[in-house]
Amino acid sequence: MNARKISPLDSLIIGLDQALRTVCTPSQCSRAAPVARHDDAALSASHMDAAARLMRVNHAGEVAAQALYRGHALTAHSPAVREHMERAAQEETDHLAWCEQRVQELGSHTSLLNPLWYAGSFAIGALAGLAGDKWSLGFVAETEHQVVKHLEDHLTRLPAGDEQSRAILEQMREDEAQHATVAIEAGAAELPEMVKKAMALTSAVMTRSAYWL
């Protein structure tokens, strides 16, 4: 029996379902969160709050990453690139779940602006995909490079006693660097410097907003 062809309406419904699952439901992961010896009770209230805010920012970043990859996949020109984007989005689900769980363990909440981060990032990803697969892959590679720098900054800002958050961020940093390498090997184009700066500015707006909201 021939497989039913996916229509534009089907794609829209699937996309909406993925968005709702990302923003509104607890995330499921395929890998257990990295574990470190820690005792949250030993953290002061101010350290708990600081760590929770940083992990909330990281969770918002993973919401955006899901949307970016889904947007790229929707407008990808080749089946191979579409499959690459969908697989990467699935791998990022682990990060989403780890950050969400850690935020809750630290007694806080995820960003109230997550629907906005998802919608905006999905649109950006779809537009990048329309520009062509090599540019879409280039966008992924540059995004992951910037995420690695962002994670390295957060690793220096975490309270010294929060080893559990540190273990999560270190594993995320390793995974994100690998995603960038895979995108480059798949044929990513080098983005213009102006585009890189615009991406960094957009990221800064999101991270500063998610830190408080």
Dump pLDDT digits (tens) for 160-194.
889 999 999 999 999 999 999 989 998 999 999 99
In a domain, 62, yes or no: yes
Taking the C-alpha atoms of residue 60 and residue 209, their distance in angstroms, rounded to an integer, is: 10
In a domain, 75, yes or no: yes
In a domain, 60, yes or no: yes
Please answer whether residues 71 and 122 qualify as being in contact, where contact means their C-beta atoms are separated by less than 8 angstroms.
yes
**Helices and strands (H, E) in the chain, number of each type:** 7, 0
Choose among 123, 143, 132, 130: nearest CA to 183. Answer: 143
Q: Please check the confidence at residue 134 and state whether its pLDDT lies above 80.
A: yes
Q: Provide the domain count of the chain.
A: 1
Burial 100-128 (b: 16+ CB within 10 A, else e): bbbbebbeeebbebbebbbebbbebbbeb
In a domain, 142, yes or no: yes
In a domain, 192, yes or no: yes
Global pTM reads 0.87
In a domain, 34, yes or no: no
Q: What is the DSSP letter of 106?
A: T
Q: Tell me which of 6 and 186 has the higher pLDDT.
A: 186
Question: Lowest mean pLDDT: which of 32-41, 90-99, 102-111, 156-165?
Answer: 32-41
The token pair at 33 is 């969160």
In a domain, 143, yes or no: yes
Q: Please check the confidence at residue 65 and state whether its pLDDT lies above 80.
A: yes
In a domain, 28, yes or no: no
Burial 155-164 (b: 16+ CB within 10 A, else e): eeebbebbbb
Residue 156's CATH number:
1.20.1260.10
- Ramachandran angles phi, psi of 7, nearest 5°: -90, 165
Taking the C-alpha atoms of residue 124 and residue 84, their distance in angstroms, rounded to an integer, is: 17
The token pair at 50 is 């600081």
Residue 54 belongs to what domain range? 43-212
